[in-house]
Structure 1
């Protein structure tokens, strides 16, 4: 089964087109996603949607939106003007979902931002009565380790019969009797 889930950012405005007979809507856009490692450059992928989903994508999604895409991957062969063929991946989207604001699509990349703290108001000529501190001591904890409780022996049922086969005991073979 060909199924792909991709978290990406839209980098090209979705374009709505129609088939030659104006029966089916087609939307295509370009998305960007990050690699698995920090030093991997972002990759681009063409995403195509059909029908009602194509209209929804064109109306509700724009450049810079971070989305989760669910769909199928395919490989297309393209003739290049330079005279060679190039293979490109394309995703046919089946579901699309906005990501919440502030969700980082590249979890591998760490951002070091200082969060400004709110200013702390300073009291202006207020008289504060000191509260006396009462020294309390916590009770000492015992450091003696106790053994875990042992399970009780399981009583044997009244119809229990020991095995009729005797226990096998391996005999030690003297080293001189080992054939080589």
Structure 2
């Protein structure tokens, strides 16, 4: 299953419209998220929501909001003056607001993540102090 979780900032306010045939609500907005390389600019991504979620997003979210999005990532190919361009689009099924006061409960920024290469010890940072018993984890055979 194609599933994506993304922490981003809304850079273009949600725009609500309706389909012609069934009058189903559709909201589109643009979000931006940090590039892993500090020397490169942030990435921009088109986000689409349908139905009741689309209406909720248009009513509750504006440009500048920090959010966590979960959805399905899709790549479209568009013909442009002699070349093909790939454009990413995220169709979301959940949106979670991040409070402006810095309260990001249960969300860890990539800047706070310590990669294993940079770790001074050989322990796995993913399981440090997490309370997860590695012996009880399901092992996927592929």
Indicate whether the TM-score tops 0.5. Answer: yes
Query: Does structure 1 residue 44 correspond to structure 2 residue 47?
Result: no
Residues 26-51 of structure 1 show CA distances to partners (whole Å, capped at 9, x for unaligned) of 10000000022322320000000000
SS of alignment partner, residue 108 of structure 1? helix
Distance 1:79 1:15 in 2: 25
Distance 2:22 2:30 in 1: 23
Q: Is the 8 A contact 1:31 1:46 kept in 2?
A: yes
Higher relative contact order (CA 8 A, sep 6+): 2
SS of alignment partner, residue 58 of structure 2? helix
Query: Does structure 1 residue 68 correspond to structure 2 residue 68?
Result: yes
Distance 1:49 1:6 in 2: 15
Please report how far the alpha carbon of residue 22 of structure 1 lies from its aligned counterpart in structure 2 after TM superposition: 4.0
Q: Is the 8 A contact 1:38 1:108 kept in 2?
A: no
The residue number in structure 2 matching 1:30 is 30
The residue number in structure 2 matching 1:133 is none
Please report how far the alpha carbon of residue 88 of structure 1 lies from its aligned counterpart in structure 2 after TM superposition: 0.6
Distance 1:47 1:70 in 2: 10
Please report how far the alpha carbon of residue 74 of structure 1 lies from its aligned counterpart in structure 2 after TM superposition: 0.5
Q: TM-score, normalised by structure 1?
A: 0.55
Q: How many residues align?
A: 108
Where is the helix percentage greater, Structure 1 or Structure 2? 2
The residue number in structure 2 matching 1:83 is 82
Please report how far the alpha carbon of residue 10 of structure 1 lies from its aligned counterpart in structure 2 after TM superposition: 0.3
Q: TM-score, normalised by structure 2?
A: 0.69
Distance 2:50 2:110 in 1: 30
Unaligned runs of 5+ in 1: 110-180
- How do 1:13-28 residues align onto structure 2 when only pairs under 5 Å count? 13-28=13-28
Unaligned runs of 5+ in 2: 113-142
Distance 1:90 1:11 in 2: 15
Larger Cα Rg: Structure 1 or Structure 2?
A: 1
Measured on the aligned residues, the alpha-carbon RMSD in Å equals 2.0
Distance 2:20 2:79 in 1: 23
SS of alignment partner, residue 111 of structure 2? coil
Where is the strand percentage greater, Structure 1 or Structure 2? 2
